[in-house]
Amino acid sequence: VENVPEKIDYVFKVVVIGDSAVGKTQILSRFTKNEFCFDSKSTIGVEFQTRTVTIKTKVIKGQIWDTAGQERYRAVTSAYYRGALGAMLVYDITKRQSFDHVARWVEELRAHADNSIVIMLIGNKADLVDHREVPTEDAVEFAEDQGLFFAETSALSGDNVDKAFFKVLEEIYGVLC
């Protein structure tokens, strides 16, 4: 069996940021491998994973970058943001503090990333409804205020994960092309 190499029209770099333990790695593996790993260890050495999708007849390779735990040491460097066309800014709907820190992450993006970067605010762990600490309306208001897209996702169930990534890739395509 031969592998027919696919013709890639574009490669879009998307970074995943946010506090530690909000589910960044799981969101990434849900989107790129349709997997959720219950005993996730930080993926040391792996900088990004990819998934190729078709948007309006164009073949687009999403190159999705993970901080691999660096955010714990506030060591996310400008190299991480370099060339990024999209950002998934993740908080945990069951951890108010992770939402309170979102403004700082937006500042970080504004300081290090390209001005035209497409930002999607993501409230993850939406399956944990009984433990919710962040009302959807608070996030909607913040997102509108800052000009961000917004979605609530569950990496565990897979809810909205593809939709959020497709939205970002489509928006990037719309900005560029």
> Would you mind telling me the total number of residues written for the chain in this entry?
177
Report the interface residues with ligand GDP, using CB under 6 A. Answer: 20-26, 40, 124-125, 127-128, 154-156
- For the bound state, the minimum distance from the C-beta of residue 144 to ligand GDP, rounded and expressed in Å, comes to 24
Minimum CB distance to ligand GDP smaller for 55 or for 94: 94
Could you tell me where the beta strands, DSSP code E, fall in 21-176? 48-55, 58-65, 86-92, 118-124, 149-152
Minimum CB distance to ligand GDP smaller for 55 or for 121: 121
Q: For helices 102-112 and 136-146, what crossing angle results, to 10°?
A: 20
- For the bound state, the minimum distance from the C-beta of residue 5 to ligand GDP, rounded and expressed in Å, comes to 32
- For the bound state, the minimum distance from the C-beta of residue 12 to ligand GDP, rounded and expressed in Å, comes to 21
- For the bound state, the minimum distance from the C-beta of residue 11 to ligand GDP, rounded and expressed in Å, comes to 23
Residue-wise DSSP of 73-94: GT---HHHHTT--EEEEEEETT
End-to-end CA distance of the chain: 35
- Cβ contact 24:48 at 8 Å: no
Minimum CB distance to ligand GDP smaller for 76 or for 156: 156
Minimum CB distance to ligand GDP smaller for 20 or for 49: 20
